[in-house]
Amino acid sequence: MEAENLHYFEKAPIAKAVAHFAIPMMLGSSMNVIYSILNAYFLGTLHNTAMLTALALTLPLFAIIMALGNLIGMGSGTFISRLLGEKKYDDVKHVSSFAFYSSLVLGIIVIAVGLPFIDPIVHSLGSSPESFGFTKDYVTVMLIGSPVVVLFFTLENIVRAEGAAITSMTGMILSVVVNIILDVLVIFVFHGGVTGVATATIISNLVASVFFIFYMKNKSQFLTVSFRWFKASKEILSNVFKIGVPVFIMMIFLGAMSLIFNRFLIEYGDQAVAAYGISSRLLQFPEFIVMGLCEGVVPLIAFTFTANKLRMKQTIGFTLKTIITLAVVFGILVYLISDNLIGLFTNDPQLIQMGSYILHVTFLSLFITGMTTLFTGIFQATAQGTAAFIMAIIQGITLIPVLYIANHLYGFHGVVWSIVIADTVAFLVGAIMLYVLRNKLQPDMDSLVQ
């Protein structure tokens, strides 16, 4: 197993290597989106707009908890891949043990900080009087289960960083399958509503985390959860947080942007928030496919950065062509059947019209989002902390003023189009920084060709 993983890192043809790392991530991400869509669909069958609104409003909170997992997971994961490229296997064990235990500590901190302020948190999410109770129920469960969620996202990242992409995918799919089964039970059998849905999410993450722990203890040659390998040296902290903190900030910005976006949308009624919640879940499917591709190749880029920079350049080029192809294919599908897709979740004509419009506009950003994710992944994989940090904040810095101006000038339409504008600015900034990075690496690559 380990020799096979290293083969894909070092010797497999580029297309085959990218497929090995990216397809499992794409499938795993797709399953998460399918769950998200089914989740909204199951709640939608109850014909309670307030529940759907609560589900949309709690996305920023889940993004923050997930961000903590990615802070440790992405920071540790890219470091692990680079260490594997340098064949420093004992250091990999130290980093993986650090990732495991620090994730649990972060989750406990979330509980201690979040629960005493539950009502202010729910109010800050923008809940209306009708959706407040449902939103509070969901938030309470998510806060209590945050150690499990943080751990799940951390382990998924470091297992994939080792090259065990299929194992990472299996854990992600296991989580989704368990979640869907539990959702059906809690909604249709036990009538648990949003509380049941949130509880199902925590349990499914726990099942997948146990799966990853079993793999790390019994099948992985390099990763470990043993505390005797725990080490929080300056080198580990520096390399993990140099990449992990920008990832965390980026996801916090995304959560904050979602929160601010919802606060603007709520001015146009619960239907606008529900329409955005539905359309964003539908957009997540092609978006997560493309993002799965970009995030999936990060371990390969990180490994080849320390082992073979020419192979890294070829990997990036192949990934770019694949992003363009996927964006064109999904674009045609979305514009042909958007009304039918929104209609799966509601029979309200105004909600269908509003959701279809939001889907059309925000889908314009798919290619841009894919490229931005690839840029960010390259900066993370190559330990370019400053560039990763800039990518983490640029979209949020752009979106907030654009939202205020666009909402004032164009109302609802301006709010929706502000996403495309912010994504475009982030793309341009990332492209410029990548060009500078490319110039720095090019002499190294040329020497490899000669």
List the one residue out of 329, 355, 358 whose CA is nearest residue 340.
355
pLDDT at 2: 52
Query: Would you say residue 429 has pLDDT above 50?
Result: yes
Query: Would you say residue 218 has pLDDT above 80?
Result: yes
pLDDT at 106: 92
pLDDT at 154: 93
Cα(355)–Cα(37) distance, integer angstroms: 14
Mean pLDDT to the nearest integer, 429-448: 68
3-state secondary structure of 100: helix
Q: Are 155 and 225 in contact (CB under 8 A)?
A: no
Q: How far is CA 75 from CA 68, 215, 235, 242, 384, in A?
A: 11, 20, 12, 7, 12
pLDDT at 422: 86
pLDDT at 20: 86
* Two tokens, residue 233: 């040296």
| pLDDT digit string, tens, across residues 336-395 | 777 777 777 777 777 777 788 888 887 877 788 888 888 988 888 888 888 888 887 887
Identity of the amino acid at 419: I
Give CB contacts under 8 A, 24+ apart, made by 264-270: 264/403, 264/407, 264/415, 265/412, 265/415, 266/126, 266/128, 267/407, 268/411, 268/412, 268/415, 270/49, 270/50, 270/53, 270/128, 270/130, 270/131
* Two tokens, residue 110: 């979330």
Mean pLDDT to the nearest integer, 3-15: 78
pLDDT at 448: 39
pLDDT at 5: 66
pLDDT at 364: 79
Q: Are 186 and 251 in contact (CB under 8 A)?
A: no
Query: Would you say residue 4 has pLDDT above 80?
Result: no
| pLDDT digit string, tens, across residues 129-175 | 777 878 888 888 889 999 999 999 999 989 988 888 889 889 988 99
Q: Are 183 and 132 in contact (CB under 8 A)?
A: no
Cα(195)–Cα(139) distance, integer angstroms: 9
* Residue indicated by tokens 């894909």: 8
| pLDDT digit string, tens, across residues 16-48 | 888 888 888 888 777 776 776 676 777 767 666
| pLDDT digit string, tens, across residues 233-244 | 888 998 888 888
Chain-wide mean pLDDT for the chain? 83
Run of H or E residues at 102: helix 89-114
Identity of the amino acid at 337: I
| pLDDT digit string, tens, across residues 266-324 | 777 777 777 787 777 777 778 878 888 888 888 889 888 888 888 888 898 899 999 98
Burial 379-413 (b: 16+ CB within 10 A, else e): bbbbbbbebbbbbbebbbbbbbebbeebbeeeebe
List the one residue out of 94, 135, 144, 88 whose CA is nearest residue 114.
144
| pLDDT digit string, tens, across residues 80-126 | 988 988 888 888 899 999 999 999 999 999 999 988 888 888 887 77
Residue 129: how many other CB atoms lie within 10 Å: 7
Cα(379)–Cα(377) distance, integer angstroms: 5
For residue 336, with 0-12 CB atoms within 10 Å meaning exposed, 13-18 middle and 19 or more buried, which class applies? exposed
